[in-house]
Every structure is written in C-alpha cells, then in structure tokens.
Structure 1
C-alpha cells in the first residue's frame, strides 16, 4: 500500500442550497483550511452539523474521502475537489471502500477510528446538482468513511497517516455499504447482524442493526 497522506482539512458553515428555501440549510459545503485544525470528539473546529438527526455525533464526528475515489468521479465528468462531497478529511493513498470498520488512522497526535460507510441522501444530490446522484453514488461503491475521534488534537494538510488495521473481524466499508442497501430490501441474516454488532459501529448504525435483530 502506498503512503497515506492528509491532503486537506475541510469545514463548512450552514448554507441554503435552494434559494427558494433559505430556511433549509446544510453544512455539506466545505472549504479547505490552511494550518493546524483542532479535532475533538464531535468533529473539527469551525465545522457545522445542521441535521443532527441524521449526521454528526461521536460515531460520525468526521467524514473522509480520498483522491483515488475522486479520480473515479472525475473520469466520469463529475465535479471534484477538496470538500466537494462534504468530507472533513481529503486523503490520498487509499480507496475508501478498502478501509474496514475498526481500522484506526493515526495523524500525529490524533487517532481516528473507522465506524461506518456513508449512505447518500437528497441533500448530497442537491449539492451535486444531480437528482440521480444518490443512485450513482450507490452504484459506484465508493462510500467514504465516517470516523470516531479516539484521541483529540490538531491536524494539518501534508501530514502522513498511519493505518492500523482492526485486529478483529474485518468487514470493509465496501461490503458494509452494499449490506446497508441490501438490508433495505432483504433482511440480513442473524449471523451477519451479529458480526456487525461486534464491531465499533457508529451509534446510528448500531441502532439500525439492533432494530434488524429484534425484527427477526
């Protein structure tokens, strides 16, 4: 595996994507910052989470996307660039689908833990100016990674990232992403749900799987 680098740290404040709905705001529009940025258990300084029902919290404190993932989209004529998909961390040297839940990323003094894949929503499609982008994102299988902050501190563009693979059952984000969409149509097996619940999932993901288990 090539060296993983932090290409940019991106934050955003609430904006309205629809001029006709100035009251409906989102924090998905992010810009890269220069210098060190503090990250804490709920995210990055200067970053806003508007829809707290579906986003944010300790298990989804940060969102990561990679230049390798962006290259896929760029080749298909989709606008790309640091923060374009609403990610806090743009990295290089890895494809997000290859990360596994429980993997840890060490960036200087900061330790991050992979918790879940991103499930696209209508706000994401609005950001991309493409009503069909949710389906395109699903079909691409490049979900990006939600992260939990294990150790707080400051990070900055240009830092190397050390990947520490999860020592337990390894379920990649690519597999997790596909399973999430499968579960929308077909119940997951008890064995698979039990495997997922044994991982350090994001809180929302854990709650969803507990509901699935109770429904069997």
Structure 2
C-alpha cells in the first residue's frame, strides 16, 4: 500500500504542474482541469516519490509537478508495475497503459541536470472508475 503525496494539474500542456492538493478524476477522461485529460491512453501520469527524492539527492531543484506528473505516490515503485496493472485509490481505479515516454524536446530539468526521470520512470494510466483524490489518500495495487 502507498500514499498519494501530491495531486498536480496544469491547464496547458508542456509546462510544470501545480500541486492542488485534491482533484476530481473522471472515468475515461482523467483529472478534471488538467490539459492531458481526454479520450486517450495517457489520462493520468504518476511518479514515485522515492524516484523524485533520489533525483533531488543528485542536485535537482524540483518541486511537486516539476516533471509534469499528476500524482506523486509514496510506497509503490510505479515504474516496476507492468502495463495492465491496476491501482485503486478511494473509488478511483486506474489501469497502467504505458511506462516511460519519448522526450522529443528536452525539458528545463534535462537542460539543467543532463537527465530527466519522467521519460523512463513516468507511468501513465487510463481511468476505469472516477472519484476524488487527495494528498494523503491511500493507494494500492489491486491487480
């Protein structure tokens, strides 16, 4: 079992997200108010808190949402979950659809650090069931 450490959104693609503390997650859509929501396979993005902390230990000056992630999860190494895995949080059910992504134009983090974890450790999911997610909520792998 893990814990949601941050809930981040932005209304524009290609920018860092802001930690808003809670959000409505809509079935077959994603996080309401987030630019990446929609009818596709990358409705919600997740990163492990531990991965972010390891990156910070290497000197990165990043905050919640810096990588464009929607959910920061502590206690679950999301990058190790196979595609098809399911995560449950309150009434929300997510299905992992993709691990990592191709980075076409390197972000500010990459230009500063020479590296970015999102392309290889970011996990993407579609929303099978919606609800509300808040920082501090329990989240678990359920299949």
For the superposition of Structure 1 and Structure 2, which TM-score range results when normalised by the shorter chain? 0.7 to 0.9
Q: What SS does the corresponding residue of 1:59 show, helix, strand or coil?
A: coil
Flag the structure with more relative contact order, 1 or 2, with Cα contacts below 8 A and sequence separation at least 6. Answer: 2
Where do 5+ consecutive residues of structure 2 fail to align? none
Which secondary structure state, in structure 2, belongs to the residue aligned with residue 9 of structure 1? strand
Structure 1 match to 2:11: 13
- Structure with the higher fraction of residues in helix conformation: 1
Is 1:127 aligned to residue 125 of structure 2?
A: no
CA distance in 2, matches of 1:129, 1:58: 26
Kept in 2, the 8 Å contact 1:114–1:147? The answer is yes
CA distance in 1, matches of 2:10, 2:122: 18
What is the deviation of 1:83? Answer: 0.8
Task: Tell me which structure has the larger Cα radius of gyration.
Answer: 1
Structure 1 residue runs of 4+, over 4 Å off? Answer: none
CA deviations over 1:25-44 (Å, ceiling 9, x no partner): x343100113x411122221
Equivalent residue pairs, number: 142
Give the TM-score normalised by the residue count of structure 1: 0.59
Aligned-residue offset at 1:6: 0.6
Gaps of 5+ in 1: 15-25, 50-54, 166-216
From the two aligned structures, give the one with the greater strand fraction.
2
Aligned counterparts, 1:35-50, within 5 A: 36-40=22-26, 41-49=28-36
Q: How big is the shift at 1:99? A: 1.2
Q: TM-score, normalised by structure 2?
A: 0.85
- Is contact 2:29–2:43 with CA below 8 Å preserved after alignment? yes
Alpha-carbon distance in structure 2 between the residues aligned to 1:115 and 1:131: 29
